[in-house]
Amino acid sequence: MVVSPAPAIELQQVWLGWRDRVAVRDASGAFPQGSMTAVVGPNGAGKSTLIKAMAGRLSPIRGRIRIAPEFADDLACLPQSAELDLGFPISTFDLVAMGAWHRLGAWRGLDDAGRDAVEAALRAVGLAGLGRQPVDTLSGGQRQRALFARLMLRDARVILLDEPFAAVDRATTEDLLALLHHWHGEGRTLIAVLHDLDMVRAYFPQTLLLAGQVVGWGDSGQVLCASNLHLARHLCAGGAA
């Protein structure tokens, strides 16, 4: 008898939105512990809204988002790169070091081991030697690598990613995909908003297809069938991102 993993995050009849707009309605289902799930759907499907809600940045209108107690303080989120404030003067090293704040607090400095961990993370994402460079001088791909390095310092067991490969080149995408698969191999739970369905089919075992509601949730090959994709496009026709 095969026992299914317990949920890391469970949606219980969740409705999401703000003011008079509903972005996600009556969503129920679970992200099993250790799973690697792509969240896909047309513009206006509610993908980023769902990520924000699971990260605790948006409260449900109705229903409940239940995070397993053992992961309540062990969840990290990589937002869209456009949300990074490039007007704030910070070095690449310091941006990555922010990943350790949950352990150190905002005002404690890094010890030698912490500084070594930051340098190791920079090397792991291909940014060795760029620690002193201001974040606003990095290319889009380099900034995304730096954000992944920050996640490495955070060392969370549940990781949410909102369009992690947007506006980055193929080499960067392949390197970051390899990092995601390494984390998945360690048993972490990964949930990523993506647009490239070929990438999802090739690399993500599970898919949640949204269109303001759950259209399909489960094995990627089954969820991303022509009929489901047609239905999702129909439901989101005329919607906004």
Inside any domain, residue 221: yes
Inside any domain, residue 237: yes
Q: Is 15 within 8 Å of 57 (Cβ atoms)?
A: no
Q: What CATH number did the domain enclosing 46 receive?
A: 3.40.50.300
What value does the mean pLDDT take over residues 6-28? 94
Residues in contact with 147: Cβ distance below 8 Å, sequence separation at least 6, in sequence order = 78, 81, 84, 95
Inside any domain, residue 100: no
What is the CB-side half-sphere exposure of residue 65 using CA atoms within 13 A? 21
pLDDT at res. 96 = 94
Residues in contact with 188: Cβ distance below 8 Å, sequence separation at least 6, in sequence order = 34, 156, 157, 158, 159
What is the number of domains present in the chain? 1
For 78, 106, 150, 238, the CA distances from 93, given in Å and listed in that order, are: 17, 15, 9, 43
CB atoms within 10 A of CB 57: 11
Q: Which residue has the higher pLDDT, 195 or 102?
A: 195
pLDDT at res. 18 = 83
Residue 26: pLDDT band with limits 50, 70, 90: very high
Give the rounded percent of residues in the chain with a pLDDT score beyond 90. Answer: 74
Identity of residue 16: L
What tens digit of pLDDT does each residue of 32-68 get?
999 999 999 999 999 999 999 999 999 999 999 999 9
Domain extent at residue 231: 1-74+195-241
Mean of the per-residue pLDDT values of the chain: 90
State the pairing for strand pair 75-78/158-162: parallel
Inside any domain, residue 114: no
Inside any domain, residue 98: no
Inside any domain, residue 230: yes
Residue 4: pLDDT band with limits 50, 70, 90: confident
Closest CA to 210 of 241, 187, 183: 241
pLDDT at res. 239 = 47
pTM confidence score: 0.91
Residue 108 has pLDDT above 80, yes or no: no
Residue 84 has pLDDT above 80, yes or no: no
Inside any domain, residue 219: yes
Residue 227 has pLDDT above 60, yes or no: yes
At 99 the three-state DSSP class reads helix
pLDDT at res. 109 = 66
**Angle between the N-to-C axes of helices 170-185 and 140-154, in degrees from 0 to 180, rounded to the nearest 10:** 10
Q: Where are the beta strands (DSSP E) in the chain?
A: 7-18, 21-32, 36-40, 62-67, 75-78, 158-162, 189-193, 206-210, 214-219
What tens digit of pLDDT does each residue of 126-160 get?
999 999 999 989 988 899 999 999 999 999 999 99
pLDDT at res. 71 = 94
Inside any domain, residue 107: no
